[in-house]
Amino acid sequence: MKRRIFLSSIATVALLGSALAPALAQGLPPLEQKDRYKVGFAQTESNNPWRIAETKSFQDVAGSCNWDLVYTDAAGSAAKQVSDVESMIAQGVDAIFLAPREEKPLVPAVMRAKAAGIPVFLVDRSVDPAVAKAGQDYVTFLGSDFVDQGKRAAEWLIENFKGDKGVIIELEGTTGSSPANDRKKGFDERIAQDDRFEIVASQSGDFARDAGRQVTETLLQAHPDMNVIYAHNDEMAIGAIQALEVAGKKPGEDVTIVSIDGTRDALQAIIDGKMGVTVESSPFFGPLACDTLKRYAAGEEIEPWVKVEDRIFTKENAAEHIDEAY
Ligand code: GYE
């Protein structure tokens, strides 16, 4: 059924040379313009406020954008997420928004959707750029510049750290995910330019509060002189704060904490003086997803990266923003 639509669209484009031509020239499946779409949103997990806010943003926009939303939750399993996408293909969705848990294992899901004539939009995370390309295998990536987020966290630390020697523990996000890879790169490269700092340990806490707490507990034993924590997201930073407090350390005084996201708990920790900074990474993708899908259906050539601009939250502005946080 889907394939028939795909082929007949090709014929139409060939005849009319219509606005769908740019998409098809690059091998992307076209999308008809219609009043209502059946849209898949393949979520990676739902174990933190960021994911819950993102899902809600998609559910909210489904109403205003005339979508019948097919929602799946991979519960932290890349393998389940691949089969979630396969089930969306089987259900004949018009388009898929995929938040790929990890860069490599989700590539086959992208390729299968493309082969089935269904345009894929990557949202919040990306897949391995060496094997799958925007504008060719999937339409575009909607999301933040993670390298820049890591770099900005490092720059805040360089400007605000008071001591002579910064002994850093890094809590990495989900291994193999694009934000973990890129937030590490951006931070590590920038911090290496200042000899006051040394990263003594860098370990994954899977973007989760509990894992962040446990990893911090273990690393604290091995590096009792640590005085900086860089967490790839706020949930792990909050877990780290709990571990520090149990160990009798004062977060914000004995240990400077820098992080990424902008959750309500993180903004509260900044207001309380426990956390120094969180670089924003917005989960509110619904309106942007609606707009990008409409532009694509209208035949616009979509830029390979629909970039989200991020703010930065510190004690100067955290109180102003806490009411809009999640
Ligand atoms: O920072 C984190 C979430 O992919 C940008 O994943 C997202 C990250 C976000 O679990 O909290």
pLDDT digits (tens, 9 = 90+) for 167-214: 999 999 999 999 999 999 999 999 999 999 999 999 999 999 999 999
Instruction: Report yes or no: 205 and 239 within 8 Å, Cβ to Cβ.
Output: yes
Quickly state the pLDDT bin for 151 (edges 50, 70, 90): very high
CA 135, chain centre distance (Å): 19
- Give the end of a domain, one of 115, 142, 169: 142
Residue 193 CA, ligand 1 centroid: distance in Å? 26
Q: Is residue 2 included in any domain, yes or no?
A: no
Residue 104 CA, ligand 1 centroid: distance in Å? 17
CA distance 193 to 70: 46
Q: Are residues 161 and 68 in the same domain?
A: no
Look at the alpha carbons of 118, 119, 122, 128 in this order and tell me if their dihedral is positive or negative.
positive
| Ligand 1 atom at minimum distance from 263 CA | 11
Question: Does residue 146's CB lie within 6 angstroms of at least one atom of ligand 1?
Answer: no
Q: Is the pTM of this model over 0.85?
A: yes
Residue 225 CA, ligand 1 centroid: distance in Å? 29
Q: Are residues 200 and 135 in the same domain?
A: no
Q: Are residues 236 and 94 in the same domain?
A: no
Ligand 1 pocket test, pick from 207, 278, 280 with the greatest ligand atom count within 8 Å of Cβ, gives 207
Q: Are residues 165 and 227 in the same domain?
A: yes
Q: Are residues 174 and 273 in the same domain?
A: yes
Residue 20 CA, ligand 1 centroid: distance in Å? 33
Quickly state the pLDDT bin for 8 (edges 50, 70, 90): very low
Residue 47 CA, ligand 1 centroid: distance in Å? 11
**Host domain of residue 116:** 37-142
Q: Are residues 152 and 133 in the same domain?
A: no
Which position has the token pair 């060939």?
14
Q: Is residue 17 included in any domain, yes or no?
A: no
Q: Are residues 263 and 121 in the same domain?
A: no
Q: Are residues 247 and 156 in the same domain?
A: yes
Question: Does residue 124's CB lie within 6 angstroms of at least one atom of ligand 1?
Answer: yes
The total number of structural domains that make up the chain: 2
Q: Is residue 64 included in any domain, yes or no?
A: yes
Quickly state the pLDDT bin for 82 (edges 50, 70, 90): very high
Q: Are residues 189 and 256 in the same domain?
A: yes
Average pLDDT, rounded, for the chain: 94
- Give the end of a domain, one of 110, 142, 174: 142
pLDDT at 12 over 50: no
CATH of the domain at 116: 3.40.50.2300
Give the CA distances from residue 45 to residues 30, 50, 54, 71, 140, in Å, rounded to whole numbers and listed in that order. 29, 10, 11, 12, 22
Q: Is residue 28 included in any domain, yes or no?
A: no
Q: What is the pLDDT of residue 23?
A: 53
Q: Are residues 59 and 122 in the same domain?
A: yes
- Give the end of a domain, one of 78, 108, 142: 142
Q: Report the nearest-CA residue for atom 5 of ligand 1.
A: 124
